[in-house]
Structure 1
Amino acid sequence: MGDYLIVGEKAGSQASGARSTSLRDQCRAQGFTVQSLGPRSWLAARGPRPLKTLTVGAWTLVGDVLNRNHRQLDPASDLEPHSYEKKLFSRFWGRFVGVRLRGEALDAVLRDPSGSLECVTWHDDDLVLVGSDIPGWITPTLPPQTRIDFNRVGLALADPIRVWSDLLLEGPRVVLPGSILALPAEDPATLLWRPDTFAHQSDRWDMAPAAAADLIAKAIDEAVAGLASLSRSLGCEVSGGLDSSVVAASLTIAAKDKVRLWLNAWGDDTGADERRYVADLGLQLGMAPTHVPRAQASLSEADLLSMSQGVRPGLNAMDWAYDAAWAAQWQAAGVDAVMTGKGGDSVLIQAATADVFTDRFRSQGWRSILSPDLPGLARLNQRSVWSLIDEARRKSGTRLAGGEAAPGWALTTATREELGPAHPWLSSDAASGPAKTHQIAGIASGVSFSAPSRQTAVVDVFHPLLAQPVVEAALSLSPAQLTLGAKDRGLVRLAFANRLPPSITHRRSKGDMTAFYGRLLAASLPVLRPWLLDGRLAREGLLDVAALEQALKPEVLLWRGGFGEIMIAAALEGWVRVWADRLSQAAKTLTA
């Protein structure tokens, strides 16, 4: 989608005009297009597709703004704070940030609930800045006290969802999805949109499966059609899995004539080759997929540094060879935007685990044991009915944070209690059951798919299953409804049964890339081992070097995997090195 920078001059500052003009010239030199937002504020933007602006009341919305087909209004009184902005989030969806002027000064900023467009802000005595990133050339504008917060880095290493919550920098402020923040940022932002607002509707157990399936199908069709309308020429990932197939099926109805490339990547291992499912999908949808071998290459230090140049660690750029290869494919096909099925695992609830029944027990109490789905769920999880009931009874009064188990070699000097919940959407007052909490955590992490990568540098990447219409519809349904009691993503299978081939709707297995990535990491060990074992994270005491050294052995990687955990650590290491150098250079510039 591209990058943006919004700059406002502070009233009463004599130096603000000169500094604003200098910064505007720097933006133009970096390839940005600059436009005025008012007498003392302006917007600079660049990227694969120009950012648009839309005036809505007092707000200037920057990015993609789409009208809602079916509005989900929070029954808040018009007298409540920020009622206008809450209604704005129910009237529009898309990928945007908004800024509001009071007089000639920037007064507030908001970010749409999807979080697809990053939003950070910082200020000094002369200027207020809001941007999608903080590149090296603009670092001298940061507050002098800006530093890396190694407590946050340690917790992000143990629980990566924290990468998408607060910044790992002390100084600039992040505006979370669905939030409003007064400018210049002194007080905490206010969450106007929260997942639990919609999750509380999931106590509606009386909705029939057919009605719930229709709700999900309409939401997906709205998201796909809306995002497709933003592009002239599209590409679509078709992995062979359910989520990408659902998006492809919806896309053939909404904008099939715009699609120039249906792209599938296959690996050498049986579990990594899903071409037979893609072939069935092609026959069903009347499209011709292109199959390419999955790119593979060992890592270099330059790769590790390049993936984490942004304001957050580059967790969306960890599959470096694949990312570069697909960027080239899209460019060669003349594609300007790409549709993916990413996020569906979390939003639509892939795993029908015992937690599905625990959520039902929390909502319905002991009458939940009469559910006809309970025996099937027990069989699916190879458990007894009584063990599921006992687990649900024990968990029913607990509050859950939604974080994953940390790798054994991740250390931190701070505790979760000291730094609060992993994400504000998972705060202790949002008391959802474990399955719903896991869904919300996945949605919070879903912003990672819109983070910078080699693909996002050349094409716009759309993730319709993480768009606001789909997220709100899925949140409003219980895990039992989304799984039809005992089927992973059972509801969306039902919703698209007439649009997809039986081989995909009846499929229960998933593509398995464990061996593939194990080989890639093993080939990269000559770079990865010194990168991590002798790196900054280790020197800060955030890694158990002895335990990590055991994990970084070829035989362990090939048999146990661990690609994600190790690459997250590698990306965090790269980010720390980049920002340590960046802040050091900025300090030298300011003192020169």
Structure 2
Amino acid sequence: MALVGDTAAALEALAAPMRRRLAGAGWSRRVSHPFVEVYAPSDRLAVTAGLDGHGVLIGEMYDNTGRTVSASERGTLACRPMDAASARRLVAEHWGRYVIVRRTGGDAAILRDPSGAIEAVCWRRSGVTLVASSAPPVLDPLLPDDMALNWEAVARLIGRGGEYRHDLALDGLTPIAAGELRTLGAGGSHGVQVWRPADVYRRGRGRPPELRSAVQTAVRSLAGDRTWVAEVSGGLDSAIVAASLEMSQRDRVAAWVNHYVEQPEGDERAYARAVVARQGDVLTEVRREGLTLSAERLARTADAFRPATNDIDTDYNDDIAARIREGGAWGSLTGQGGDAVFFQMPSPLIAFDELQERGVRARPAAVHRIARWTRRSLWPSAWIRALQEHRRSRADWDHPWLDDLRGVPPAKALQISILAFCQTFQGQAARSLHGVCVNPLLSQPVMEAGLSWSTVDLTWGGRDRAAARNAFRDVLPPSIYARRSKGELGAFYGEAVASHLPFLRDYLLGGALAQAGLLNDLEADLSREALLWRGGFSRLLTLALTEAWVRRWTARLEARSR
């Protein structure tokens, strides 16, 4: 949490009564200057004050070669003027997992890195601008007096369960988007999106960076010389992350972890073993036997600014968290985001990208391969329907990344929308409470590489993630390179959630969401037959996490009003 005072006196008046409370909760004051203070509950987040005492860089930063920015350079960067032009230059020259907060002209300017790895939410109180990545109860006295649940926003969360929404369902708080510069002060609030995926695509057309180099730079820089728990699903994306580590970094992996289930479609151990065996490592295999669902477990991650939809698999996240603690690891490394960055989706929209990007030079072979991949007739009406459905779906897009898609063809726009959804993976979960969860494939260099490539080239030959497969072919097990299927856990989750239907029925139908009239159509989904035949387990789990979040914030807000 960073605090920037309009005046030194305002900052002291607000912070002084909180210092003992924060210290009692395990928070330490990491920066203390007359106009800027920073507090954190852990030393796992680097915090560097600007040399002039008016700025702070929170998190990790690298230059475009992947070199870690030194402490003295960090202090200098935190002193830079923070207007839109300087923010764009900084984002073009550096990347990482960071938030920069700078006092400028009496206001606070906040820059969140394009990956969105660290949440950033801001508000005003008593002449002070506050910026925080989460909101544990120790911060309650610092939250806005007029803060309230926004039930219309909660209803939108329910209507699109599990999808990422940028806007918060808490009035009085302003979320900062990944790649946004937000200026906040006594005169109001103003945001500028200094990094957009569409801009990256428009700049990179015709000269995309090399995928392998971008991935290796990101993975090796983020892994550094720390100890990690590496998640190995058996799929292509986690295999690429594992293959990108240097040998010395592989030696520091505390555990290579794969979770599997009894059903053959959910058992990917053979693929995962091949990934780790290439360098003589051993796979830690964890057999799954259901889910742990209880009000107490759901409440563990309900103190964030958003419902903890990244905590949807409670047992998986609890297991990774335990291995981080037991192995003395810094955190976990995942392959999440690769489906979006490398383009896994078999979509007929790719053919429209070919036509829009190449015009009269469009290649009939490309369209034919896409038709075979998507099992779609070459008759034009089928393709036109797909494009019409895509255009209708765009009415529900609401992330700042999606505000300006001029000149972006439909499949590339779809990719950008899915990358926006991937912000969910940067959110809070049990596995991130005791160590950072790092998703290298959602880092700025990798996203920019994937965005610069045409979707036609990313999937050339009618193959999902074809460009990424070919870029890493020599370091991937042949079974992973040739694999065309993905693990399927629907039956496992359906059975696991079905076993908890009595709890879910009481928890949801007797809870805050139902009382607000938001679950009137839920009864039909709360049956074993519906889960096993129609699916819907994801919706029920997301609703349970949202219910826990609403209950938690209702209780906290009521306690503040007493």
Give the TM-score of the pair, scaled to structure 2.
0.91
Task: Indicate if the aligned counterparts of 2:97 and 2:113 stay in contact, CA closer than 8 A.
Answer: yes
Residue 46 of structure 1 is matched in structure 2 by 41
Task: Indicate if the aligned counterparts of 1:318 and 1:571 stay in contact, CA closer than 8 A.
Answer: yes
**Residues 487 and 563 of structure 1, relative CA distance in 2, 3 Å threshold:** same
Aligned AA for 2:556?
R
Match of 1:279 among 273, 294, 312: 273
Residue 352 of structure 2 is matched in structure 1 by 358
1:470 and 2:434 are equivalent in the alignment: no
Residue 32 of structure 1 is matched in structure 2 by 27
Match of 1:86 among 85, 88, 97: 88
CA deviations on 1:22-74 (whole Å, 9 max, x unpaired) are 12222211111203342132111123614232649975211111111289xxx
Aligned AA for 2:332?
V
Distance in 2, Cα, partners of 1:465 & 1:63:
18
Distance in 2, Cα, partners of 1:51 & 1:23:
22
Task: Indicate if the aligned counterparts of 2:332 and 2:438 stay in contact, CA closer than 8 A.
Answer: yes
Distance in 2, Cα, partners of 1:514 & 1:88:
43
Distance in 2, Cα, partners of 1:38 & 1:21:
13
For 1:384-533, list aligned pairs within 5 A. Answer: 384-387=377-380, 390-391=383-384, 395=388, 399=391, 402=394, 421-427=397-403, 429-430=405-406, 432-533=408-509
Match of 2:557 among 562, 583, 589: 583
**Residues 300 and 441 of structure 1, relative CA distance in 2, 3 Å threshold:** same
C-alpha displacement at 1:252, in angstroms?
Answer: 4.2
Residue 107 of structure 1 is matched in structure 2 by 108
SS at match of 2:3: strand
**Residues 70 and 297 of structure 1, relative CA distance in 2, 3 Å threshold:** closer
Identity value in percent: 33
Distance in 1, Cα, partners of 2:417 & 2:247:
31
CA RMSD, Structure 1 to Structure 2 (Å): 2.7
1:194 and 2:196 are equivalent in the alignment: yes
Segment of structure 1 superposing worse, 239-248 or 161-170: 161-170
Distance in 2, Cα, partners of 1:36 & 1:327:
29
Task: Indicate if the aligned counterparts of 1:122 and 1:129 stay in contact, CA closer than 8 A.
Answer: yes
Aligned AA for 2:448?
E
Match of 2:371 among 374, 378, 388: 378
SS at match of 1:47: coil
Residue 295 of structure 2 is matched in structure 1 by 301
SS at match of 1:107: strand
Distance in 2, Cα, partners of 1:132 & 1:484:
40
C-alpha displacement at 1:569, in angstroms?
Answer: 1.6
Residue 9 of structure 1 is matched in structure 2 by 5
C-alpha displacement at 1:498, in angstroms?
Answer: 0.4
For 1:174-185, list aligned pairs within 5 A. Answer: 174-184=175-185
**Residues 339 and 152 of structure 1, relative CA distance in 2, 3 Å threshold:** same
For 1:202-213, list aligned pairs within 5 A. Answer: 203-204=205-206
Distance in 1, Cα, partners of 2:247 & 2:351:
36
Distance in 1, Cα, partners of 2:134 & 2:355:
44
Distance in 1, Cα, partners of 2:387 & 2:255:
50
1:568 and 2:562 are equivalent in the alignment: no
C-alpha displacement at 1:279, in angstroms?
Answer: 2.0
Task: Indicate if the aligned counterparts of 2:292 and 2:314 stay in contact, CA closer than 8 A.
Answer: no
Q: Count matched residues.
A: 547
Task: Indicate if the aligned counterparts of 1:161 and 1:423 stay in contact, CA closer than 8 A.
Answer: no
SS at match of 1:285: coil
For 1:99-178, list aligned pairs within 5 A. Answer: 99-102=101-104, 107-160=108-161, 163-178=164-179
Aligned AA for 1:247?
V
Residue 410 of structure 1 is matched in structure 2 by none
**Residues 585 and 198 of structure 1, relative CA distance in 2, 3 Å threshold:** same
Aligned AA for 1:265?
H
Distance in 2, Cα, partners of 1:330 & 1:374:
47
Segment of structure 1 superposing worse, 39-48 or 161-170: 161-170
Aligned AA for 1:382?
R
Residue 336 of structure 1 is matched in structure 2 by 330
**Residues 224 and 585 of structure 1, relative CA distance in 2, 3 Å threshold:** same
SS at match of 1:425: helix
C-alpha displacement at 1:268, in angstroms?
Answer: 0.9
SS at match of 1:193: coil
Residue 323 of structure 1 is matched in structure 2 by 317
C-alpha displacement at 1:99, in angstroms?
Answer: 1.0
Distance in 2, Cα, partners of 1:86 & 1:400:
33
Unaligned 5+ residue runs, structure 2?
68-80
Distance in 2, Cα, partners of 1:255 & 1:307:
30
Distance in 2, Cα, partners of 1:472 & 1:168:
30
**Residues 187 and 106 of structure 1, relative CA distance in 2, 3 Å threshold:** closer
Unaligned 5+ residue runs, structure 1?
72-78, 404-415
Task: Indicate if the aligned counterparts of 1:400 and 1:431 stay in contact, CA closer than 8 A.
Answer: no
C-alpha displacement at 1:492, in angstroms?
Answer: 0.5
**Residues 202 and 388 of structure 1, relative CA distance in 2, 3 Å threshold:** farther
SS at match of 1:177: coil
Distance in 1, Cα, partners of 2:227 & 2:82:
43
Residue 95 of structure 1 is matched in structure 2 by 97
Distance in 2, Cα, partners of 1:112 & 1:339:
19
**Greater RCO (Cα-Cα under 8 Å, separation 6 or more):** 1
SS at match of 1:114: coil
